[in-house]
Amino acid sequence: MKSVAKKTIFNIKPYIPGKPIAEVKRELGLKEVIKLASNENPYPPSPKILKAISKAAKEVNRYPDGDCFYLRSALAKRLKVNPRQLIFSNGSDELIIMAARAFVDKGDEVIIAKPSFLIYEIASKIEGAKIKNIPLKDFSYDLDAMKKAVTKRTKIIFLGNPDNPSGTYLKQKDMEKFLRGLRKDILVFFDEAYHEYVDEGDYVDSLGLLQANKNVIVTRTFSKMYGLAGLRIGYGIASLELIDILNRIREPFNVNSIAQAAALACLNEKAYFRGIAKKVRDQREFLYKSFDKLGLEFKKSCTNFILINVKSDANLVSQELLKKGVIVRNMSSWGMKDFIRVSIGTQKENRKLIKVLGEIL
């Protein structure tokens, strides 16, 4: 079958996700395992959200609302945008795939930071894109170099803001400068999966950029702060023209009914998520102090994960952590051989991470 499959897909290294907790327990015979590998929210949904989920479960014999009507109305109101400027997706990953599918022809170019979120590259390679990787500069996007990399074949520029795995963010004034003079027929894909965690005052007001830049899409997700990673729901905000293009290739029932109900319930739980944001901020400070004590270097993050230089083989360190029941992300496959990435867990989980890291190093 290999000879008849699309040639482009053999350039792709399959994505290796963080191992599920149950798998590690099963394989290593461990009773207690914690996962700090996929930037999930460590807390379960609130009782109100759980109630919305069980209510929606009673109607799963029906197809979901393909238009996400109630969620669309509530979110449009919250974001102060036209409801038709929204598109919903099976996790925001799906919008990355849809964007590449809609815009990239074989031989076109896309611009991606290196390292960055791996799905940008996978989605683009499926369509036969030529990838222009622009190295980070001191763990941040080198916007000047990214702009210089534009050619007449450039179709998409992917910007993770905040970026994963670096945890750094783009500033309003730098983004305005970047967009000034950039060709308006290049899709600027603004991935804001960690938007809800950012407190910094000079963070890009991406929705404010949409009016003047019809070529920009902003994507967000219910997987990270909102804790619905297992239900798969994200969304994009863009001009009506751009949304119309993406809707043409959207699978009609791409967002399941339980995810829609849970996401809607999340929007009414502001206080609950404010509480979680505070816990994450406090735990981030605890981890910074603990890494300092262990003599580890790290990049300050505006998200719920931290990139750490363990100053030894990251493969080995993550294997040893795994044996002790702590799943972290080994950054070797991103080409960062001395780095691991850890998600900020509960206080108990973070204490265990620090204890085990201390034993290993």
Q: Which residues bind ligand PLP (CB under 6 A)?
A: 39, 91-93, 117, 160, 164, 191, 193, 221, 223-224, 229, 234
Helix/strand/coil for 55? helix
* Nearest-angstrom CA–CA distance, 28 and 10: 32
CB of 17 to ligand PLP, least distance (A): 10
Q: Where are the alpha helices (DSSP H) in 159-256?
A: 172-179, 206-210, 240-249
Burial of 83 (0-12, 13-18, 19+ CB in 10 A): middle
Instruction: Please list, in sequence order, all residues whose beta carbon lies within 8 angstroms of the beta carbon of residue 253, skipping any fewer than 6 positions away.
Output: 63, 64, 66
Q: Which helix (H) or strand (E) holds 135?
A: strand 130-135
Residue nearest to ligand PLP (CB): 91
* Nearest-angstrom CA–CA distance, 205 and 168: 16
- Beta carbon nearer to ligand PLP, 93 or 349: 93
CB of 174 to ligand PLP, least distance (A): 19
CB of 197 to ligand PLP, least distance (A): 11
- Beta carbon nearer to ligand PLP, 226 or 298: 226
- Beta carbon nearer to ligand PLP, 39 or 41: 39
Say which DSSP state 311 is in: S
- Beta carbon nearer to ligand PLP, 154 or 164: 164
- Beta carbon nearer to ligand PLP, 30 or 229: 229
CB of 301 to ligand PLP, least distance (A): 12
Q: Which residue has the tokens 């999966």?
A: 193
CB of 112 to ligand PLP, least distance (A): 12
